[in-house]
Amino acid sequence: MARSSSFLDNLLTSPSTERYRVGLSVLFLLCVWLVVGSFSQGLPNAMLLMAAAVIGGYMAINIGANDVANNVGPAVGSGALSLGAAVLLAAVFEAAGALIAGGDVVSTIKGGIIDPTSLEDPRAFVWLMTAALLAGALWLNLATWMGAPVSTTHSIVGGVLGAGIAAGGWAIADWAVMGKIAASWVISPVLGGALAALFLFAIKKTVLYRQNLVSSARTFVPWLVAIMAWAFATYLMIKGVKKIVKVDMVEASVIGLIVAGVVFFVMRTLVGRKASTMENSAQGVNTLFTWPLIFAAALLSFAHGANDVANAIGPLAAINDAIQAGGGVVTSAKIPLWVMLVGALGLAVGLMLFGPRLIKTVGSEITELDKTRAFCIALSAALTVILASQLGLPVSSTHIAIGGVFGVGFLREYLKSNYATQLHKIIEQHDPTDQERLKPFLDDFRNASVEEMEKLLKQAKKKKQQVPLSKSERKRLKKIYREEMVKRSHLVKIAAAWIITVPASAIMAAFLFFTLRGLMV
């Protein structure tokens, strides 16, 4: 099983298979073209509808390649799921979320950022939506190629804004709404990072820093997983199945509490059974979070498919309705089955063919993740969406998840630096003549995890040991630890990609609108 999993992982990431992945995606888009062409014969602008369907499929592929990594990346980085298993799980649940809970009607103008009724030429609406869809897809494709996880919602927002301005001038845009979207660049990652760091610190204080980890795990882990069960059940009700079953926040919370109660008693029984054989270490506690992480990845993927498939099929549904009606503005559109299938299958295809690159970035290249840290990231993502929904804050699920990854990384960095400071104080209290016999201690310290460092510091104080490091060496050591825990290069690259997403897709959409109008008039 391990060998087959490794083979699948290599197949998904090997540069030598890149041309096959590109070829399969082109084959999928060709199938979309042929299928839509088969039933659109005789319609006015049938070729435009076929082209829009292909662009919608292309957008869905890029959403699958870029956005889905945030849902399964932490589970992969922590070792709860192999890359191949994560891709298959997310593909199934993304498609299921889109088909089961994607809804019958979708808003075609994201967030009310433009007023399409002010367009003088009704044909311009179809050109606008086509240009916005293609621009959003192209930007996502570029971001995925660069290894930068960006918001698919912001990509399509930028596309609609740029094409809208090109079609109707600056007055067509609602700049107050755009201000809220810009605010989410800060709100989303800060909220996600703060909550993830808070939960990780709570787990360390209540479980990982205790002498008897097994006993602490029996007491606190069922509560932690129950909180996660409440968050995900509530999240799923207000975000994942809102188009099937209408529930308010109170009803969703009550359902979440019922689920959390059941999960608490189940986890208490399971942890109690495992405690007798569980290793009294952080690694032993980590194993308790494996299945919660797998369920979290599945539920996040389902909710994402239900919500973000609209970024691909919303404009496509609008174009379809407008063409069927002979042109005109469509602010909300019914979704035919074929449109939903294009979105659902495109998400799955994009994830399986191109998603592994971003999954690896989120899961392992920003900071080192174990199951405890990944659990905190998944929990913070669900809680932040719930909190933001109630406060009316504009947040991006992508930014929340990435903020969570950086949050746990910076917390680890702070804790390690704090331990190093304690060690330096101990060094200054000892006579230099004792330094030679403490070289083994320095070796142990260099190889220690955050948790092990605390134990070593206690031993140093108890046995009057110290580490023979000069001031410059201590500073160098702290810099090495800091760089290992949070990769600054990824932080800069991702932040830059977030900031330019809306303007970049807007500029591309404006250019594409003028090009398309020139071809059609």
Q: How many other C-beta atoms are found inside a 10 Å radius of the C-beta of residue 177? A: 17
- Enumerate residues 6+ apart whose C-beta is below 8 A from 48: 126, 130, 319, 323, 520
- The percent of residues above 90 in pLDDT, for the chain, comes to 11
Q: How many other C-beta atoms are found inside a 10 Å radius of the C-beta of residue 480? A: 11
- What are the beta bridge partners of residue 107? 332
Q: Is the pLDDT of residue 428 over 90?
A: no
Q: How far apart are CA 249 and CA 200, in angstroms?
A: 26
Give SS3 for 105. Answer: strand
Q: Is the pLDDT of residue 471 over 50?
A: no
Per-residue pLDDT, 362: 75
**Position with higher pLDDT, 138 vs 94:** 138
Structure tokens belonging to residue 286: 């980590």
In sequence order, what E strands does 232-388 have? 332-334
Q: How far apart are CA 378 and CA 388, in angstroms?
A: 16
When pLDDT is averaged across residues 117-137 and rounded to a whole number, the result is: 83
Per-residue pLDDT, 436: 56
Q: How far is CA 30 from the centre of its chain?
A: 29
Q: Is the pLDDT of residue 475 over 60?
A: no
Among residues 130, 128, 108, the alpha carbon closest in space to that of 120 is found at 128
Q: Is the pLDDT of residue 463 over 60?
A: no
Summarize pLDDT for 79-125 with one digit per residue, the tens: 888 888 888 888 888 888 877 766 655 565 655 788 877 777 777 88
Residue 223: what are its φ and ψ, rounded to 5°?
-65, -40
Residue 114: what are its φ and ψ, rounded to 5°?
-135, 160
Q: How many other C-beta atoms are found inside a 10 Å radius of the C-beta of residue 306? A: 26
Give SS3 for 333. Answer: strand
Q: Is the pLDDT of residue 133 over 70?
A: yes
Q: How far apart are CA 350 and CA 25, in angstroms?
A: 8
Q: Please name the helix (run of DSSP H) or strand (run of DSSP E) that holds residue 358, with its range, or none.
A: helix 337-360
Q: What is 3-30 written as a DSSP string?
A: HHHHHHHHHHH-GGGHHHHHHHHHHHHH
Instruction: Answer yes or no: are the C-beta atoms of 118 and 172 closer than 8 Å.
Output: yes
Q: How confident is the model at residue 425 (pLDDT cuts 50, 70, 90)?
A: low
Q: How far is CA 380 from the centre of its chain?
A: 11
Q: How confident is the model at residue 165 (pLDDT cuts 50, 70, 90)?
A: very high
Q: How far apart are CA 59 and CA 343, in angstroms?
A: 8
- Enumerate residues 6+ apart whose C-beta is below 8 A from 235: 299, 303, 382, 385, 386
Q: What is the mean pLDDT of the chain?
A: 78
- What are the beta bridge partners of residue 106? 333
Q: How confident is the model at residue 30 (pLDDT cuts 50, 70, 90)?
A: very high
Per-residue pLDDT, 473: 43
List b or e across 269-287, with b for residues whose CB sees 16 or more CB atoms inside 10 angstroms: eebeebbeebebebebbbe
Summarize pLDDT for 334-352 with one digit per residue, the tens: 778 888 888 888 888 888 8
Among residues 340, 303, 241, the alpha carbon closest in space to that of 67 is found at 303
Q: Is the pLDDT of residue 496 over 80?
A: yes
Summarize pLDDT for 404-414 with one digit per residue, the tens: 888 888 888 77
- The percent of residues above 70 in pLDDT, for the chain, comes to 76
Summarize pLDDT for 204-255 with one digit per residue, the tens: 888 887 778 888 888 888 998 898 889 888 877 877 676 677 788 888 889 9
Tell if the pTM clears 0.95, that is, is over it.
Answer: no
Among residues 235, 236, 241, the alpha carbon closest in space to that of 101 is found at 241
When pLDDT is averaged across residues 34-40 and rounded to a whole number, the result is: 87
Among residues 140, 146, 195, 193, the alpha carbon closest in space to that of 399 is found at 193
Per-residue pLDDT, 3: 46
Q: How far apart are CA 457 and CA 281, in angstroms?
A: 17
DSSP conformational letter for 114: B
**Position with higher pLDDT, 237 vs 520:** 237
Task: Give ∠ CA 207-212-218 in degrees, rounded to 5.
Answer: 60
Structure tokens belonging to residue 430: 């000892």
Give SS3 for 470. Answer: coil
- What are the beta bridge partners of residue 173? 114
Per-residue pLDDT, 135: 93
When pLDDT is averaged across residues 328-332 and rounded to a whole number, the result is: 64
